[in-house]
């Protein structure tokens, strides 16, 4: 086949079953040229040469993740995963095993722990990391908004003041106990952790691209720091086999929007915007809420961070807009989302649809009408993971604000789905299942009245995700990008309550096969 040896181009897909809008599914041949679908033809039109035989399986628009952290996800594929840990003993044993595997002097980096996974819900501290000895160790909570570090790292931080919008947890004697929250994790600990080498970043990006392709993803809305983007993705943008719609993580004010000009746009990569963090997360009780947390009312109602805490959100959003980019705002608490909406309302009316409200996990009923015509860039698998603790955090009377997918659609909002990977899996089928069934990770249904039809969930991972990111396409028709996925079953016909996920048989991006099941 023609094209790069890494990802061969094809001239079409033959014998493919596709679902026609408003009609029954039918078998077709799908010719492809210059990365686009040219027609839908009668079966038998295409010859075997340089085409993919679908063998009657379902050809579907490729899936798009509207919000993930591609470079970080690739790096974590090689780090210690603590998401399966269910006790302090398991935590400590995992640290000991990983420490024995590492070269002398290398940092031990881990991710994925969640205090809700063990019986007493205790937060880890330095004593949990003793098995690492004198090796610098950092273990991030599953939401990356908190981390625990060991004594060698605390020694590097001796005397450091906690930045605004963060917390250094302390023991009964007033000494740091190793738990670092929000800005304390990001602005104190993260700068200490050695950066990957350029070679490591290139390898991590290749691993991440292969991971995404196996899951049927054809494009991603990735949140990237400029250095990660420049070293890991840009040099191999044409061979990774994935479209990148990038939002830059420039987290200080004043904002230098000209940094985006370092990355010229093409069919494979485009910088579309900048991101601001307004608050933390529900799990860490740092999401900025309108009322105090139900399970710790004396702890307050969360916190504003970074640009929101500094009070410069409005000039920030004006600057992003004036430079022609899409503003993206992390807002998990209902107070944070209200602030994001207030900032968006300072833009001209025709610019407000370009604003992306990231996460929007809790929404006050008064703010639902304000979402009409706007993109809620949400992660349904976060609902499945956060629902385990949401009722205790919010109280029963506020659960109607928690991931109100159906209410958002009824209010005229546009849902674009993603994962926030590596926070949770970027498997779109797991996200569809969570949105359609309302089940949490333990199988319990939460707010069944806010679940949505499978067609709406699929649209949120295809046409709506692409629209949110300014990336045309998302259907199978002449002239559309040949960004496709071959499945063993039509996802519309899957019983998401009982059936297993469809299998990804092949993934095609711009007419190139980037994954094929062997």
Which tokens in the block code for residue 143?
């939401």
Task: Compare 93 and 1 and report the one with higher pLDDT.
Answer: 93
Task: Assess contact for 278 and 336: CB atoms under 8 A.
Answer: yes
Task: Compare 475 and 299 and report the one with higher pLDDT.
Answer: 475
pLDDT value for 48: 87
Q: Is the pLDDT of residue 457 over 60?
A: yes
Return the residue matching tokens 């109607």: 400
pLDDT value for 3: 39
pLDDT value for 441: 84
Q: Tell me the per-residue pLDDT of 223-270, one tens digit each, with 9 for 90 and over.
A: 999 999 999 999 999 999 999 999 999 888 999 999 999 999 999 999
Task: Compare 126 and 297 and report the one with higher pLDDT.
Answer: 126
pLDDT value for 5: 46
Q: Which residues contact 269 (CB under 8 A, 6 or more apart)?
A: 233, 234, 237, 243, 244, 246, 263
- Separation CA 203–CA 207 (nearest Å): 6
- CA distance to 29, 81, 122, 174, 343, per residue, from 86 (Å): 50, 12, 12, 29, 41
3-state secondary structure of 140: strand
Q: Is the pLDDT of residue 1 over 90?
A: no
Which tokens in the block code for residue 35?
């990365």
pLDDT value for 399: 95
pLDDT value for 4: 45
Q: Which residues contact 107 (CB under 8 A, 6 or more apart)?
A: 135, 136, 137, 138, 193, 194
Q: Is the pLDDT of residue 2 over 50?
A: no
The angle formed by the CA atoms of residues 191, 197 and 201, to the nearest 5 degrees, is 100
Q: Tell me the per-residue pLDDT of 8-66, one tens digit each, with 9 for 90 and over.
A: 899 999 999 998 776 779 999 999 999 999 999 999 999 888 999 999 999 999 999 99
Q: Tell me the per-residue pLDDT of 258-311, one tens digit each, with 9 for 90 and over.
A: 999 999 999 999 999 999 999 999 988 999 999 999 998 887 899 999 999 999
Domains of the chain, first to last = 1-62+474-518 (2.30.40.10), 80-192 (3.10.310.70)
pLDDT value for 267: 95
Q: Which residues contact 36 (CB under 8 A, 6 or more apart)?
A: 479, 480, 481, 482, 511
3-state secondary structure of 459: helix
Kindly give the interhelix angle for 380-394 and 428-437, rounded to the nearest 10 degrees: 50
Q: Tell me the per-residue pLDDT of 130-180, one tens digit each, with 9 for 90 and over.
A: 999 999 999 999 888 899 999 999 999 998 999 988 999 999 999 999 999
pLDDT value for 442: 84
- CA distance to 21, 43, 281, 311, 335, per residue, from 288 (Å): 42, 56, 8, 14, 5
Across all residues in the chain, what is the average pLDDT?
95
Query: Using H for helix, E for strand and C for coil, what is the string for 265-280?
Result: CCCCEEEEEEEEECEC
Q: Is the pLDDT of residue 394 over 60?
A: yes
- pLDDT band of residue 186 (cuts 50, 70, 90) is confident
**pLDDT exceeding 90 applies to what percent of the chain?**
89
Q: Tell me the per-residue pLDDT of 497-511, one tens digit each, with 9 for 90 and over.
A: 999 999 999 999 999
Q: Is the pLDDT of residue 474 over 60?
A: yes
């Amino acid at each position: 086949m023609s094209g790069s040896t890494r990802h061969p181009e094809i001239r079409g897909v033959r014998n493919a079953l596709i679902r026609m809008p408003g009609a029954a599914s039918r078998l077709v041949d799908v010719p492809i040229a210059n990365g686009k679908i040219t027609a839908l033809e009668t079966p038998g039109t295409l010859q075997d040469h340089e085409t993919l035989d679908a063998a009657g399986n379902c050809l579907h628009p490729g899936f798009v993740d509207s919000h993930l952290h591609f470079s970080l996800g690739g790096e974590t594929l090689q780090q210690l995963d603590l998401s399966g840990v269910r006790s302090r003993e398991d935590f400590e044993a995992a640290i000991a095993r990983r420490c024995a595997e590492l070269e002398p002097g290398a940092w031990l980096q881990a991710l994925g722990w969640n205090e809700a996974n063990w019986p007493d819900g205790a937060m880890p501290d330095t004593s949990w990391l003793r098995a690492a000895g004198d090796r610098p160790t950092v273990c991030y909570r599953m939401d990356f908004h908190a981390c625990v570090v060991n004594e060698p790292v605390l020694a590097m931080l001796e005397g450091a003041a906690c930045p605004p919008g963060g917390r250094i947890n302390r023991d009964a004697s007033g000494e740091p106990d190793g738990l670092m929250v929000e800005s304390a994790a990001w602005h104190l600990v993260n700068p200490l952790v050695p950066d990957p080498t350029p070679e490591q970043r290139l390898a991590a990006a290749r691993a991440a691209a292969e991971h995404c392709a196996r899951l049927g993803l054809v494009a991603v809305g990735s949140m990237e720091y400029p250095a990660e983007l420049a070293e890991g993705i840009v040099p191999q943008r044409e061979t990774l086999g994935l479209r990148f719609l990038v939002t830059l993580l420039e987290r200080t004010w004043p904002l230098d929007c000209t940094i985006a000009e370092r990355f010229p746009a093409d069919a494979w990569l485009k910088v579309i915007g900048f991101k601001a963090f307004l608050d933390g997360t529900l799990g860490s009780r740092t999401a900025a809420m309108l009322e105090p947390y139900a399970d710790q009312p004396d702890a307050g109602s969360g916190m504003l961070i970074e640009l929101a805490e500094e009070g410069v959100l409005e000039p920030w959003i004006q600057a992003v807009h004036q430079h022609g980019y899409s503003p993206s705002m992390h807002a998990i608490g209902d107070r944070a989302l209200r602030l994001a909406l207030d900032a968006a309302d300072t833009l001209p009316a025709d610019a407000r649809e370009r604003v992306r409200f990231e996460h929007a996990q809790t929404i006050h009923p008064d703010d639902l009408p304000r979402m009409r015509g706007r993109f809620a860039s949400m992660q349904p698998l976060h609902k499945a993971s956060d629902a385990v603790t949401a009722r205790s955090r919010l109280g029963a009377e506020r659960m109607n604000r928690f991931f109100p997918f159906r209410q958002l659609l009824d209010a005229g909002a546009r849902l674009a789905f993603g994962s926030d990977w590596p926070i949770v899996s970027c498997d779109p089928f797991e996200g569809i299942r969570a949105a359609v069934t309302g089940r949490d990770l333990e199988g319990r249904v939460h707010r069944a009245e806010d679940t949505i039809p499978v067609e709406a969930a699929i649209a949120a991972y295809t046409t709506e995700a692409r629209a949110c990111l300014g990336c045309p396409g998302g259907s199978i028709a002449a002239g559309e990008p040949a960004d496709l996925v071959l499945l063993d079953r039509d996802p519309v016909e899957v019983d998401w309550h009982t059936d297993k996920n469809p299998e990804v048989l092949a993934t095609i991006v711009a007419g190139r096969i980037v994954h094929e099941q062997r």
